[in-house]
Structure 1
Amino acid sequence: MTDEGEGPVASTSGLARRLIALALLTASGGLLASACADNESSLFVRMRMARTEDCDVTCGPGEGFWTEDSVDAAYSGSHSATLLVGNQIVQRGDSDVLRTETSRVQLYEAEVRVAYIEGDPVTEGFVVPIAGLVDPGTGDDAGYNCTEVLLLDGATMDRLRGEAAELRRDIEVVATVVVRGRTLGGQEIETAEWSYPVRVCFGCSRCVDTSPPTCCASSASDECQDVDDVEGTCPGQRGPQDCRNLGMTCAEYIERVRP
């Protein structure tokens, strides 16, 4: 009788243990998924900051921003943008108990992938160092700071330059960025992917030669000293180019850099 009773009891006990283990595993999986989601939402890229007429940048969620960049690859070997990064981690510092603030995030690198507007990759992705310290938010408001991120590196720009010159039209690409940082408490954290469109052309900007054109290469002579300056544009926008910044006439320069 005893042997017959112990079999079912042992079997039921083993089944219960397995069910409990499965429940714990499911619960822990849910916690891990939640932690990953929180990690990507705690740090985020909000927008690409605009530049003023003086090409300065003011950081803040209420400042101006751009929704697209336009780059002339004939005059740019690479392209960077100033991104506004937000930090939603809860403040942990408390001066009453001498507890330091560990929720500030030190930004240290960005991973960038560039793809054509249709979705195909342009080149392999790259990782670049960045800098910036983002304070934690207060209440329901995130803390913010800016960081400069290379969107198109030299290899990517070289390829786009060749395609734009050959096709004689804009090449539309999307730069997708993941920003990584580390809290002062030692926690690794990164943003979700943030994507930004960039148009690349070759020689589409207006280039201005001086009068006489010999002043392009040298402005030492008396006839070149009173030549008016050409008002340029900020990185991320297309605008007029001054031949004196190129050291030669516009035509000579374009022929030199043409792929």
Structure 2
Amino acid sequence: MADEGEGSVAATSGLARRLCALALLAVSGGLLASACADNESSLFVRMRMARTGDCTVTCGADEPFWTEDTVDAAYAGSHSATLLVGNQIVQRGDPDVLRTETSRVHLYEAEVRVDDIEGNAVTEGYVVPVTGMIDPGTSSDAGYNCAEVLLLDGATMDNLRRRAASLGRDVQVVATVVVRGRTLGGQEVETAEWSYPIRVCFACSRCVDVSPATCCVSSASEECEDNDEVVGTCSGQRGPQDCRNLGQTCAAYIESVRRTL
């Protein structure tokens, strides 16, 4: 009876251990699921920063931002934007116990998908490298930093250039971005999908030929010295183009691009 009792106790202990293991697995699974769900709120894209003045960007939640980009595909081979990314992971560092801060996030890539306004894919999605380090927030305020993300890569722009030239009007698309990062503590985090509208046209910007037209090709002669500079606009906006930046007259340039379509 003693042996049976001991055997019974052993069996009960083994069962208890197994039950505890299952319980811990279930709990840890819940925690992992919770962590995955929290990842999309830990890191987030807030907005597309505006380029102002001399086309520079100032990163910050209170700085100017844009709600739509416009791109002339006749003059652009691709299109990037500066995105403000926020970090809401709580601070972990504590100088009193020599604990380093592990909640800073290093951004390393962005996944981009481009669809038309009806939701049809324009091209296959692609992954591009990004960089940036975001400090943890303080209290209820997130930490912020900017990341330059390629919203329209070369293949996508080629596709949209052909569409816009064929239709003779703007092509409206939506770039959807997921930014990924890694905390200094080794935790992978990513943003929820963030979508941004872009209008793409072909040769809709005003192009300026200087006088005489030969100055478009070369400005080395004296007769070209008095030509004023054409004030352009920042990337993401339509604006005037200077033929001297194209190396030929505006008409010749547009014709050369059309031949490639």
State the TM-score, normalized to the length of structure 1.
Answer: 0.90
- Offset at residue 36 of structure 1 (A): 1.5
> For 1:31-110, what aligned pairs fall within 5 Å after superposition?
31-110=31-110
> For 1:115-134, what aligned pairs fall within 5 Å after superposition?
115-134=115-134
Distance 1:203 1:77 in 2: 13
Distance 2:114 2:122 in 1: 6
Distance 1:199 1:186 in 2: 38
- Offset at residue 136 of structure 1 (A): 0.2
2:252 partner SS: helix
Q: Partner amino acid for 2:211? A: S
Q: Partner amino acid for 1:237? A: Q
C-alpha deviations, 1:3-30, integer Å up to 9, x for none?
xxxxxxxxxxxxxxx9999987765554
* Cross-structure match for 2:163: 163
Distance 1:184 1:164 in 2: 44
Q: C-alpha root-mean-square deviation of aligned residues, in Å?
A: 1.9
C-alpha deviations, 1:36-87, integer Å up to 9, x for none?
2111100000000001121000000000000000000000000000000000
- Offset at residue 212 of structure 1 (A): 1.1
2:40 partner SS: helix
Distance 1:239 1:89 in 2: 40
Q: Does 1:209 align with 2:209?
A: yes
Q: Partner amino acid for 2:112? A: V
Q: Partner amino acid for 1:68? A: E
What are structure 2's unaligned runs of at least 5 residues?
1-17
Distance 1:33 1:194 in 2: 22
* Cross-structure match for 1:200: 200
* Cross-structure match for 1:147: 147
- The count of corresponding residues between Structure 1 and Structure 2 is 244
Distance 2:165 2:232 in 1: 22
- Offset at residue 192 of structure 1 (A): 0.5
Distance 2:59 2:167 in 1: 37
Q: Partner amino acid for 1:145? A: N
2:198 partner SS: strand
Distance 2:93 2:62 in 1: 27
C-alpha deviations, 1:70-117, integer Å up to 9, x for none?
000000000000000000001001111111111000000000000001
C-alpha deviations, 1:189-208, integer Å up to 9, x for none?
11100000000000000000
* Cross-structure match for 2:174: 174
What are structure 1's unaligned runs of at least 5 residues?
1-17
* Cross-structure match for 1:185: 185
Distance 2:47 2:188 in 1: 22
Distance 2:23 2:98 in 1: 40
State the TM-score, normalized to the length of structure 2.
Answer: 0.89
Q: Partner amino acid for 1:107? A: L
- Offset at residue 161 of structure 1 (A): 0.2
Cα distance change on mapping 1:84 and 1:227 into 2, 3 Å:
same
The percent of aligned pairs where both chains have the same amino acid is: 81
Q: Partner amino acid for 1:161? A: R
1:131 partner SS: strand
Distance 2:34 2:186 in 1: 20
Distance 1:40 1:215 in 2: 54
- Offset at residue 31 of structure 1 (A): 3.3
2:203 partner SS: coil
- Offset at residue 247 of structure 1 (A): 0.3
Q: Partner amino acid for 1:135? A: D
C-alpha deviations, 1:195-253, integer Å up to 9, x for none?
00000000000000001111100111111011011000000000000000000000000
